[in-house]
Structure 1
């Protein structure tokens, strides 16, 4: 789980997927793409949280030096994906609220 290609590659792939769907959302009139973006952002947040949780577990079993060596980077870099995911989830919730508000008040 702390393989750098897995711990950092999956969030990067999810961000690329999110960007692709965001571009598609701007260029199309498909109504459910916002929900797809919300799901991708939620999965990004959950995945990053799970990797961080596993890093803490490994640090409790071994030590932080072993975790840092397994990752090939400082442990705090795992929080970058989590923060980005939480921001994207919040952004999608705000968009959904605005859309619902707009539909109800037309």
Structure 2
């Protein structure tokens, strides 16, 4: 799970998928694409958190230097996909709240 191609490749692919859906959302009027973006961002956050948990499990068995030497990257780099995912989740929560607020104001 800590293989760099897996630990960073999956979040990178999810980020590309997110960007693709975000660009498609701009050019279309499909209402549920915002929810799809939220799901992609949430999956990216949860996946990255799971990778960090696996890294911490391996650190508890040995030490951080040994894990970094085996996998070839600093464990602090694992926080980057998690932070990006969390920022996208927060962005989508605010976007969803604004959309709900707009719909409620229009229905009055």
Q: TM-score range by the shorter chain?
A: over 0.9
Cα deviation, residue 79, structure 1: 0.2
TM-score by length of 2: 0.95
Unpaired stretches in structure 1, ≥5 consecutive residues = none
> Deviations for 1:69-103, whole angstroms, at most 9, x for unmatched residues?
23321111000000000000000000000000000
Instruction: Name the stretch that deviates more: 66-75 or 84-93.
Output: 66-75
Q: Which residue of 2 aligns with 1:77?
A: 77
**Residue aligning to 1:5:** 5
Whether the aligned pair in 2 keeps the contact of 1:48 and 1:81 (CA below 8 Å) is yes
Shift of 1:19: 0.4
1:53 aligns with 2:63: no
Q: TM-score, normalised by structure 1?
A: 0.97
Q: CA RMSD in A?
A: 0.8
Aligned residues: 106
Return the alpha-carbon distance in structure 1 between the equivalents of residues 90 and 70 of structure 2: 31
Unmatched 5+ stretches in structure 2: none
| Whole-angstrom distance in 2 between the partners of 1:67 and 1:27 | 45
Query: 4+ residue stretches of structure 1 with deviation over 3 A?
Result: none
